[in-house]
Amino acid sequence: MSGPSGVGKGTVCANLRHRMPELIYSVSATTRHPRQGEINGINYFFKSREQFQDMIANDALLEWAEYVGNYYGTPRDFVDRTLASGKDIILEIEVQGALKVKQKFPEGVFIFLMPPSLEELRQRITGRGTENADVIDHRMSVAVEEMNLLRHYDYAVVNDEIDAACHRIQSIITAEHCQAKRILADMPQLPAASEKA
């Protein structure tokens, strides 16, 4: 899942945790400083630039990107282990990273969370009170670039109202699980049997 800063990704994911407790969430590494209330290992793994560069050098990241002056990346091991256990994992990452994940996992489901308007987006980032005015301006200009990449995503969900947006995402995930090709992929014998019939 991607979406501009302040659109409500964190809020939506927190709500989805209650609706779909079976989903697993990837915890990213970042060089950004923790916001008030953020906990290392829960919200992010907070790293120095040197530590982050070591993770890159050790190929410990599935993808990484620089966003508004900081590095963000997805630890590879946790994603691999979760997928190997047959569970679904949500990555809440920005667009450059999502495009890299799409190259590696084209079967992934790519959802872009949209704001109802740019004015509302600015109000949400400002209202959150976690970034200064310069950073908000920078994030708003990146937001427009991010929305220009919407065509690479499978779904666009407008976060007008939290419950409605979460319901749409839940419907997308449920529908994806019901895709015949996914069900057939888990039943390798079935296509051959039906072809003979």
Ligand X SMILES: Nc1nc2c(ncn2[C@@H]2O[C@H](COP(=O)(O)OP(=O)(O)O)[C@@H](O)[C@H]2O)c(=O)[nH]1
**Annotated binding residues for ATP:** 3-10
Which one of ligand ADP, ligand X, none interacts with residue 183, CB within 5 to 8 A by kind?
none
Which one of ligand ADP, ligand X, none interacts with residue 67, CB within 5 to 8 A by kind?
ligand X
User: How many chain residues bind ligand X (CB under 6 A)?
Assistant: 17
Question: How far is 48 from 81, CA to CA, in rounded Å?
Answer: 25
The neighbouring-strand residues paired with 46 are 30
Which one of ligand ADP, ligand X, none interacts with residue 28, CB within 5 to 8 A by kind?
ligand X
Among 67, 110, 112, 153, binds ligand X (CB under 6 A): 67
119: tokens are 């004015």
Among 94, 111, 114, 173, binds ligand X (CB under 6 A): 94
Q: Is 92 in the site for ligand X (CB under 6 A)?
A: yes
- Binding region for ligand ADP (CB under 6 A): 3, 5-11, 124, 127-128, 159, 161-162
